[in-house]
Amino acid sequence: MILKLIIVLLLVIITKSSDGNGETSIETVDEENYTYKAKNIKGDLKIPNEIKRHERSNFYNPAVNLISEIIRTGFESKNLDLFDFLRDKYPPPGGLKTPLPEYDFVIIGAGSAGSVLASRLTENRNISVLLVENGKPEMLLTDIPAMAPYFQSTDYAWQYYMEHQPGVCMGMENERCFWPRGNAVGGTSVINYMIYTRGRPQDWERIAANGNYGWSYNDVIKYYKKSEKANLNGYERSPYRSRDGILPVEFVPKKTKLLDAFLEAGRILGHPTVDYNAPEVMGFGKVQVTISNGRRQSAAKVFLHSQKNRPNLYILPEAKATKILIDPVTKTAYGVEYVHKNVLRTATVRKEVILSAGPIASPQLLMLSGVGPKEHMTSVGINVIKDLPVGRTLYDHICFPGIIFTINETNVSLMESKALNIPDVTEWLRNGDNDISSPGGVEGIGYIKTHVSNDLELVPDIELISIGGSIVSDGGPSGSKAVRRGMRIRDEIFNGAFGSIDNTDTWSAFPMLLQPKSVGYLELKDKNPFSHPRLYGNYLTDPRDVATFVAAIRHIQALANTEPFQRLGAKIYPAKYPACHSLKFDSDEYWECALRTLTATLHHQIATCRMGPESDPLAVVDPELRVHGVKRLRVVDTGIIPMPISAHTNAPGMMIGEKAADMIKNFWNIYINNKVQYS
């Protein structure tokens, strides 16, 4: 019975696709009057139009028809949230109905960093914490690794879009790149691809060398290890790994022969097979993930679940912080305004307000509360309490998913059409170890330094992400097309480029630009806390970024030309794009044009609340994450990372939460038994 329900729900999610237009439909709110009405508060799947479209298209089969029925009868009723019975719950402590008016700390955002921080601070039962989170708790379906791409288009993600930038994201809907962020207890770790990376040693050495005391590689490695419960066959004795923490880090149980070919090809070209998170040797390795028993291990699952019953921790989902209260005279933060169930409430703090709302919402909230660039804030009508370069720096990691190789064997790639079926779901429920536990097909990670890099140290400029397939692997008549839709690639662009190999066996490696020279920024649209900020990626505005991509593409071609891939008959697929039709296939100009068409982000926006000493004109927080010039206010999330690192940002976010917890305990002298743990 339960199984049947799960399958039905699975299919419901699969039939759900992008809602395209981006903005969530919330009525404009008068800043002074929060008795607003938020539409669509209930129901994850407010998608009647999409469903109707699927009914017309090739989704018309008996199973999907059944789902359409459920949706017509269930979801169109405004007050019904069918998924609620599968959803995790966070009962308020001590039988409270609403939070108290005062706490020691209020943390805004239960994401990768905020979840860890809340858990660590409340280890001391004398310390009370209110954790305010806009999103809902996780549910059974968010646990399924292979479903990662689907949740980007549901209420579990903030539907942010980058502003239109001519000459990039040309193949995307409205020529705009999609920047989803997690909207859940657990934050972006509930919708991400679960890849575990820490960054190369030089990344942190350089951050520390810029005046950020306490952030050298040796400093941060302690905090990575503090969280970690590694189960990595072959690396049990590594001094860089720990089994004593609670965050599972494992290898994906199943693999395709494409991973073997990737690692072997790497060795042929001089890249040893290593633990890519270990500092000594740069190389290629099997992907390490935050998955255990085939289930996603989000920051909430790992750090908040076990603390649900702490009397001193109030976890409040579906509550949106709208302002940090700051005394304009003393420049001291003293509380938070938030909206919960259409009621505006205030919680004051005895100690600190901590912003962990992520790299987009944290700078937005700072500006809404009077902390930000003076000229910009004045232009949107906000009184400036502290002039700081909030949002003025923004780096992102972009990648190119369009270098695809056909192979001459079948049943090699991970194909969605073969995975998300009933026997597989049953097996997953029982053992957790089949294709469903694949994190979106990612199998291998490789660090390379291309020949165009002029770095004097051995620092990679590209990460290769080896896929057990490619962006064509979830196509076909029954395919969800979730990955291409997650990137918002327009159908006619995708079909024109890859239509003839859709749903066939392929291999691809996404090159990810690790050290972008192009710098973006963000700013407020207006002073309404329900508006999305304006996001400017400024992708590929520095020609060195384009050159690095072209060099990476050549390196991927060299890998494909080695014997292990040639054994599989690997052949590059000559994709055609409208903007590139006059360019010769495989010329450098062709690849630049292709890259500008399929510019995809890996969602690692950082530096919007940049960390740096007071002397750093771009810094927003100091090395202890305190907002410069404002007392009792810190930012603890990935937005503080001051410059690009060679890492996906989930593990760094959790590490930042661990390190911040120690800095805060140290500052307020609230270690249990006054025992200092680190630093």
Ligand X SMILES: *[C@@H]1O[C@H](CO)[C@@H](O)[C@H](O)[C@H]1NC(C)=O
Ligand Y SMILES: Cc1cc2nc3c(=O)[nH]c(=O)nc-3n(C[C@H](O)[C@H](O)[C@H](O)COP(=O)(O)OP(=O)(O)OC[C@H]3O[C@@H](n4cnc5c(N)ncnc54)[C@H](O)[C@@H]3O)c2cc1C
Query: How many residues form the binding site for ligand Y (CB under 6 A)?
Result: 43
Interface with ligand Y in residues 646-665 (CB under 6 A)? 648-651, 653
Least Å distance between CB 229 and ligand Y? 17
Instruction: Count the Cβ atoms, other than its own, within 10 Å of residue 411.
Output: 8
> DSSP letters along 437-461, please?
GSSTTEEEEEEE--TT---SSS--S
Interface with ligand Y in residues 621-640 (CB under 6 A)? 637-638
Nearer to ligand Y, 199 or 564 (CB): 199
Q: With CB cut-offs between 5 and 8 Å by kind, which of ligand Y, ligand X, none does residue 106 bind?
A: none
Instruction: Count the Cβ atoms, other than its own, within 10 Å of residue 674.
Output: 8
Alpha-carbon distance 639 to 44, whole Å? 27
Find the part of the chain contacting ligand Y (CB under 6 A) among 4-12, 107-115, 169-177, 391-399.
107-115
Alpha-carbon distance 543 to 596, whole Å? 12
Least Å distance between CB 440 and ligand X? 21
* Binding positions for ligand X, rule: CB under 6 A: 32-33, 35, 124, 126, 408-411, 418, 566, 569, 672
With b for 16 or more beta-carbon neighbours within 10 A and e for fewer, the 554-576 pattern comes to ebbeebbebebbeebebebbebe
Nearer to ligand X, 254 or 631 (CB): 254
Amino acid at 227: S
Place of tokens 């005895």: 350
Instruction: State which of residues 43, 135, 317, 373 lies at the interface with ligand Y (CB under 6 A).
Output: 135
Told to check if 153 binds ligand Y by CB under 6 A, we report no
In the bound complex, which residue of the shown chain has the CB atom lying closest to ligand X? 569
Place of tokens 């990376």: 197
Nearer to ligand Y, 127 or 600 (CB): 600
Q: With CB cut-offs between 5 and 8 Å by kind, which of ligand X, ligand Y, none does residue 603 bind?
A: ligand Y
Least Å distance between CB 383 and ligand X? 19
Told to check if 644 binds ligand Y by CB under 6 A, we report no
Instruction: State which of residues 358, 441, 460, 511 lies at the interface with ligand Y (CB under 6 A).
Output: 358
Alpha-carbon distance 8 to 24, whole Å? 26
Nearer to ligand Y, 145 or 564 (CB): 145
Alpha-carbon distance 38 to 40, whole Å? 7
Please report how many Cα atoms fall inside a 13 Å half-sphere around the Cα of residue 2, on the Cβ side.
Answer: 6
Told to check if 195 binds ligand Y by CB under 6 A, we report yes
Told to check if 450 binds ligand Y by CB under 6 A, we report no
Contacts of 98 (CB under 8 A, 6+ apart): 92, 340, 345
Find, among 324, 210, 356, the residue nearest to 631 by Cα.
324
Nearer to ligand Y, 197 or 538 (CB): 197
Q: Which two tokens stand for residue 391?
A: 């949002």
Told to check if 183 binds ligand Y by CB under 6 A, we report yes
Nearer to ligand Y, 150 or 217 (CB): 150
Alpha-carbon distance 568 to 586, whole Å? 21
Instruction: State which of residues 68, 119, 134, 406 lies at the interface with ligand Y (CB under 6 A).
Output: 134
Told to check if 320 binds ligand Y by CB under 6 A, we report yes
Q: With CB cut-offs between 5 and 8 Å by kind, which of ligand X, ligand Y, none does residue 15 bind?
A: none
Told to check if 604 binds ligand Y by CB under 6 A, we report yes
How far, in Å, are 116, 176, 357, 448, 668 from residue 349 at the CA level? 20, 40, 18, 47, 13
Q: With CB cut-offs between 5 and 8 Å by kind, which of ligand Y, ligand X, none does residue 133 bind?
A: ligand Y
Place of tokens 């990476």: 552
Q: With CB cut-offs between 5 and 8 Å by kind, which of ligand X, ligand Y, none does residue 183 bind?
A: ligand Y
Alpha-carbon distance 248 to 229, whole Å? 5
Q: With CB cut-offs between 5 and 8 Å by kind, which of ligand X, ligand Y, none does residue 410 bind?
A: ligand X
**Is 396 within 8 Å of 516 (Cβ atoms)?**
yes
Nearer to ligand X, 57 or 411 (CB): 411
Burial label for 495, CB within 10 Å (0-12, 13-18, 19+), is middle
Nearer to ligand Y, 14 or 465 (CB): 465
Find the part of the chain contacting ligand Y (CB under 6 A) among 326-334, 354-362, 470-478, 535-543.
354-362
Chain centroid to Cα 198, Å, comes to 15
Nearer to ligand Y, 67 or 630 (CB): 630
Least Å distance between CB 122 and ligand X? 11
Told to check if 110 binds ligand Y by CB under 6 A, we report yes
Q: With CB cut-offs between 5 and 8 Å by kind, which of ligand X, ligand Y, none does residue 569 bind?
A: ligand X
Instruction: State which of residues 44, 50, 81, 133 lies at the interface with ligand Y (CB under 6 A).
Output: 133
Whether 397 is catalytic is no
Place of tokens 């209110």: 130
Cα angle 413, 419, 420 (rounded to 5 degrees) comes to: 145
Q: Which two tokens stand for residue 339?
A: 């909206």
Alpha-carbon distance 130 to 317, whole Å? 11
Alpha-carbon distance 501 to 496, whole Å? 11
Instruction: State which of residues 93, 137, 145, 182 lies at the interface with ligand Y (CB under 6 A).
Output: 182
Write down the catalytic residue from 397, 555, 604, 648. Answer: 604
Contacts of 280 (CB under 8 A, 6+ apart): none
Alpha-carbon distance 205 to 199, whole Å? 11
Told to check if 136 binds ligand Y by CB under 6 A, we report no
Instruction: Count the Cβ atoms, other than its own, within 10 Å of residue 453.
Output: 20
Least Å distance between CB 622 and ligand Y? 18
Alpha-carbon distance 502 to 496, whole Å? 11
**Is 560 within 8 Å of 522 (Cβ atoms)?**
no
Interface with ligand Y in residues 245-284 (CB under 6 A)? none
Beta bridge partners of 249: 230
Least Å distance between CB 261 and ligand X? 12
Least Å distance between CB 456 and ligand Y? 28
Told to check if 199 binds ligand Y by CB under 6 A, we report no
Told to check if 397 binds ligand Y by CB under 6 A, we report no
Catalytically active residues are 604
By CB under 6 A, name the binding residues for ligand Y: 108-114, 132-135, 152, 180-184, 187-189, 191-195, 197, 320-321, 356-359, 361, 365, 603-604, 637-638, 648-651, 653
